Amino acid sequence: MTQVENIGTAVNFVSEEAQDRTPTSFAGQVNRVGTGLTNPGQKMSFTFNGRKMTGFGGDTLASALLANGQTLVGRSFKYHRPRGILTAGSEEPNALVELRSGAAQEPNTRATVTELFDGLMAKSQNHRGSLNFDMMAVTDFASPFLAAGFYYKTFMWPKAFWEKLYEPIIRAAAGLGSLSMQEDPDSYDKGFLHCDLLVIGAGPSGLMAALAAARSGARVILADEDFLPGGRLNAEGLEVNGAPGSMWAANTVAELASMDNVRMMTRTTVYGAYDHGVYGALERCTDHLAKSDGKPRQVLWRVYSKRAVLAAGSTERPIAFGNNDRPGIMLAGAVRTYLNRFGVVPGREMAVFTNNDDGWQTAVDLQNAGVELRAVIDSRDVDAPVHLPGVRYLRGQGIVNTIGRKGVKAVETTAGVTLPVDAVAVSGGWNPNVHLTCHQRGRPQWREEINAFVPGGVLPVGMAVAGAANGAMTLAAALAEGQAVAEAQLTDLGYRPVAADIPEAQDEPSKGAAYWHVGESRTRAWLDQQNDVTVKDVKQSFQEGFRSVEHLKRYTTLGMATDQGKTANIPALAIMSELTGKPIQDTGTTIFRPPYTPVPIGAFGGRSRGKDFRPTRLTPSHRWAEANGASFVNVGNWLRAEWYTKPGEKVWRDSVDREALATRTSVGICDVTTLGKIDIKGKDAGAFLDKVYSNTFSTLKVGRVRYGLMLREDGICYDDGTTARMDEDHYVMTTTTANAVLVYRNLEFARQCLWPNLDVHVISTTDGWAQFAVAGPKSRDLLRKVVDEGFDLSNEAFPFMACGKVTVFGGTPARLFRISFSGELAFEIAVPARFGNSMIEGLMKAGEAFDAVPYGTEALGVMRIEKGHCTANELTGQTTAHNIGLGRMVSQKKECIGNVLSRREEMIREDDVKLVGLRPVDRSLGLIAGSHFITKGEAANMANDQGWMTSVAWSPNLGHSIGLGFVKSGDARMGEVIHAVSPVHGTEMDVEIVSAHFVDPEGERLRG
């Protein structure tokens, strides 16, 4: 009897009064024997597979299902075996359900951690037909053929069967829950938190750690995955300071919640330990509510901690025996959770099977709750640690088989005893939750006394472990260790811990044996119930040579999927260790990786989805363009007008042809703000540009612009653009739209790392200036109406490649450049970005007299191909200055990035490809970009490849298709007719090699 006192008795949540009320108050809840810590005043209606049930506030879906007598909740992954609820926490392998309906439907949700709410709709998964009569259950009878490695061995041949037969069947059978295939209607957020001490887990040791830290004044975050903090204190009948442990937990939480320096986070799983004290946490904000009502459903937190205390507790493991997967067979600790926290029993006639003292506590609690206890079966040959009057003790025995299909009906022991039962509590001992200690490659150590792995190796920086997670498996030890570990962490941070008493509690009996499975079992003994892996599968894996735990995992799928084998891994590797004869320590564990429990992809995505996946950058004339018929195209993050549709224009070419023609005959206006703009200042600005450009800029006169070509250090072309010298020590560089950020980054690298003593500063001004190209023979006339009087725009005063500061529209500052991408007389004018909209309106108004048109990126492209100008189609990152005909621009007389390696033999071969123009011999044909060139009369294969077509356009000015391309020795093959072949399009045609300058080859227009 003294031992009974030692172990304590269940807290009186299950009063006689409550039992008396059962038939009426808990209507329908046939297995509700008390109220535990639930709130019976808060009645919750919910459905399971359409059947209406009720539960209480504070229930989980699992506890409510059990209360309603629903022990069968799903079908297993591979064999469609009837399965029930094994655990009471996030480690649950079986009780996966689909929640909600329509777009909000969520598959594979663990009923054991789903908080019950009024109106919850849940469905079971993975059955064809009803849960009770699953047509796929036939696979169970085929199980002798479906053992580990079945797929690898079976679906190999004939090869032709794979796509048509095997894959569709496997796909139809695979997976558990189903997706709604609709967009997730909920929103998700991300957030950042900082603290001195992060405490992970709000059980006895976590609460003590948080309390010690909070009282010392440190900033504390206490996170727990449960909605009710307290951990096992809420599940056990143990006392703290002479009162129920759950009461001490509630009081401690209340104290913590009242302190300004504490952030108490329930429903929050710390799922990963990352570098330098950074932790990932998922807070489930509205999962427990019927509707999110616009609030984020979940928040993904990045927690920056100076120190952390891992108080993640421990997870009970089962013992494997024949048909140990029947609904009603449950972990002993989970039985206590359902009984003490929720007032629910899984059955009325039960047996307890244990290899340790802790399992006996379940027997004590069940007997106190009035459950008919058929026997306690202990694998050990020991005296009963607890005297249970009237209960049969089967010493040194195990369960060898169970009877029943959709629920356990009886068990048979190794000694041949048959016990009729409707539920079984099983305990194989407890595993410390070491997961987060291993996320930085810590390696757990086997501790013989508790037959479990404890944290070992190098822990994540700043982390210490306390309580059951550290192998302190009893309450008094956990409380003391929580405080001690927190105090050490705080002292380390320079805080002075406030001395406090450790609450009074007992060390409950916790001895156990290393006993993993009942070897006498003749039927399948399940290890991983989520993946349907049996003891026999592990033996087969061993026989076939997959003996390392990592191979065992991949070969059998043990430990995969939503539970990651939290209840399965250790028994399985213990069995592997028996087979190999190596100690468990040497057998080791598979590597634990984040996340600890599943994190929805939606939470990782946060707000970055749909059009918000990337930022959208709008040009300063965007609103105007929208109002004027523009279609837009994505250019990086920018949206640019690609053409402006006028009434009557049916296809895009109608608009593009009109814009290109109007620009060449009168004047067109194009927003070119997206091109990168970089201000370069300092007395060494010119010397700096000489180093980053392949050509020389220090000699450029003030008020002049020069085309510049940038190389990579390996000698390949990187970017091009124009750079203007506005003042002696001030240049304005432009880059291509795509490379704006990268060129800027490289300039900073050159400035800080390569030439650190140059007096030069750079700043990106891409967003600072709205810039417009004004192109065409009437462009000067138009600009004269825009630029204020006193600025001479004549060809003599402001010739081709001139630049200067002007004012427009009566005093607005502007930068004017006489540069031309179209090949026409052209200017680019820039005003501060805030004037961009006014500027496009002003330019178009001033242009009315000349029938000015706005033009988009397509017309821009047409005109640049007509002039043979390169863009990213030609500067691909594989082409050299030599290839594009600008080899002579690469100065060898000065130091610059890329010039040394650009001289390499292979990069300056005369017979290398050269940029040329191309036109179809039959002018009615359209050229195809990507075509490859083959010398006439030769076979179209890669050995005969002569180059490729980079850009094509319909030239409205010439009336036929034109193209640019790279041809081997192209500059020496002018006039040759060559074959253009596109196997992808199934086309081939004769094309003529011509100059890339299709329009105004002498460049008279742009100088006019």
Place of tokens 């706005």: 854
- How many whole angstroms separate alpha carbon 1006 and alpha carbon 774? 12
Minimum Å gap between C-beta 739 and other proteins is 14
Minimum Å gap between C-beta 762 and other proteins is 9
Closer residue to other proteins in complex, CB, 792/895: 895
Query: Which of 66, 342, 311 shows the shortest CA–CA distance to 228?
Result: 342
Of 23-31, 206-214, 753-761, 815-823, the window that binds other proteins (rule: CB under 8 A) is: 753-761
- How many whole angstroms separate alpha carbon 363 and alpha carbon 357? 10
- How many whole angstroms separate alpha carbon 344 and alpha carbon 333? 13
Closer residue to other proteins in complex, CB, 219/932: 219
Answer yes or no whether residue 745 interacts with other proteins by CB under 8 A: yes
**Three-class SS state of 261:** coil
Contact assessment for residue 287 and residue 267, using Cβ atoms and an 8 Å cutoff: yes
Answer yes or no whether residue 275 interacts with other proteins by CB under 8 A: yes
Closer residue to other proteins in complex, CB, 654/713: 713
Query: Which of 504, 895, 938, 1004 forms a contact with other proteins (CB under 8 A)?
Result: 895
Answer yes or no whether residue 752 interacts with other proteins by CB under 8 A: yes
Answer yes or no whether residue 189 interacts with other proteins by CB under 8 A: no
Query: Which of 162, 304, 707, 948 forms a contact with other proteins (CB under 8 A)?
Result: 304
Minimum Å gap between C-beta 713 and other proteins is 5
Closer residue to other proteins in complex, CB, 299/476: 299
Closer residue to other proteins in complex, CB, 729/988: 729
Handedness of CA 382, 388, 389, 395 (dihedral sign): negative
For the record, the structure tokens of 607 come out as 């707000």
Answer yes or no whether residue 613 interacts with other proteins by CB under 8 A: no
DSSP state of 908: S
> Residues for the chain: how many in total?
1008
Here's the x/- map for other proteins, 449-478, by CB under 8 A: it reads as: ---------x--x-----------------
Minimum Å gap between C-beta 750 and other proteins is 9
Tell which positions 402-441 bind other proteins, by CB under 8 A: 440
Query: Which of 169, 243, 900, 974 forms a contact with other proteins (CB under 8 A)?
Result: 900
608 Cα distance to chain centroid: 11
Query: Which of 416, 581, 615, 756 forms a contact with other proteins (CB under 8 A)?
Result: 756
Helix axis angle, 204-215 relative to 475-493, nearest 10°?
A: 30
How many of the chain's residues bind other proteins (CB under 8 A)? 30
- How many whole angstroms separate alpha carbon 486 and alpha carbon 197? 8
- How many whole angstroms separate alpha carbon 761 and alpha carbon 281? 42
- How many whole angstroms separate alpha carbon 492 and alpha carbon 277? 14
C-alpha angle with apex 115: 88 to 64, nearest 5 degrees? 65
- How many whole angstroms separate alpha carbon 997 and alpha carbon 962? 11
Helix (H) or strand (E) holding 553: helix 549-556
Minimum Å gap between C-beta 901 and other proteins is 5
- Secondary structure (DSSP) of 559-581: T-TTTTTTTTHHHHHHHHHHHHT
**Backbone torsions φ then ψ of 549, nearest 5 degrees:** -60, -30
Closer residue to other proteins in complex, CB, 392/745: 745
Of 569-577, 795-803, 892-900, 995-1003, the window that binds other proteins (rule: CB under 8 A) is: 892-900
Minimum Å gap between C-beta 336 and other proteins is 41
Answer yes or no whether residue 604 interacts with other proteins by CB under 8 A: no
Tell which positions 711-730 bind other proteins, by CB under 8 A: 713-714
Minimum Å gap between C-beta 275 and other proteins is 4
Minimum Å gap between C-beta 747 and other proteins is 10
| Residue type, position 529, single letter | Q
Minimum Å gap between C-beta 900 and other proteins is 5
Closer residue to other proteins in complex, CB, 393/604: 604
| In 728-825, beta strands by DSSP E | 730-735, 761-764, 769-775, 803-808, 812-817
Closer residue to other proteins in complex, CB, 900/958: 900
Q: Is 803 exposed, middle or buried (0-12, 13-18, 19+ CB in 10 A)?
A: buried
Residues 6 or more apart whose Cβ sits within 8 Å of residue 920: 926, 927, 960, 961, 989, 990, 991, 992
Closer residue to other proteins in complex, CB, 302/968: 302
Of 15-23, 525-533, 742-750, 819-827, the window that binds other proteins (rule: CB under 8 A) is: 742-750
Closer residue to other proteins in complex, CB, 526/718: 718
For the record, the structure tokens of 427 come out as 């305990």
Kindly calculate the radius of gyration of the chain based on its CA atoms and give it in whole angstroms: 38
Query: Which of 52, 295, 904, 923 forms a contact with other proteins (CB under 8 A)?
Result: 904
Query: Which of 651, 753, 939, 984 forms a contact with other proteins (CB under 8 A)?
Result: 753
- How many whole angstroms separate alpha carbon 952 and alpha carbon 940? 21
Minimum Å gap between C-beta 302 and other proteins is 8
Minimum Å gap between C-beta 988 and other proteins is 39
Closer residue to other proteins in complex, CB, 1/753: 753
Contact assessment for residue 760 and residue 681, using Cβ atoms and an 8 Å cutoff: yes
Of 444-452, 635-643, 650-658, 746-754, the window that binds other proteins (rule: CB under 8 A) is: 746-754
Handedness of CA 138, 142, 147, 153 (dihedral sign): negative
Query: Which of 136, 250, 289, 901 forms a contact with other proteins (CB under 8 A)?
Result: 901
Beta bridge partners of 115: 60
Answer yes or no whether residue 277 interacts with other proteins by CB under 8 A: yes
Contact assessment for residue 509 and residue 385, using Cβ atoms and an 8 Å cutoff: yes
Closer residue to other proteins in complex, CB, 49/891: 891
Minimum Å gap between C-beta 749 and other proteins is 6
Contact assessment for residue 111 and residue 97, using Cβ atoms and an 8 Å cutoff: yes
Query: Which of 393, 755, 791, 954 forms a contact with other proteins (CB under 8 A)?
Result: 755
Closer residue to other proteins in complex, CB, 136/278: 278
Beta bridge partners of 833: none
Query: Which of 521, 530, 536, 518 shows the shortest CA–CA distance to 148?
Result: 536
Of 55-63, 219-227, 413-421, 900-908, the window that binds other proteins (rule: CB under 8 A) is: 900-908
Query: Which of 488, 498, 561, 758 forms a contact with other proteins (CB under 8 A)?
Result: 758
Q: Can you give the binding site for other proteins, defined by CB under 8 A?
A: 274-278, 302, 304, 440, 458, 461, 687, 713-714, 741, 745, 748-749, 752-758, 895, 899-901, 903-904
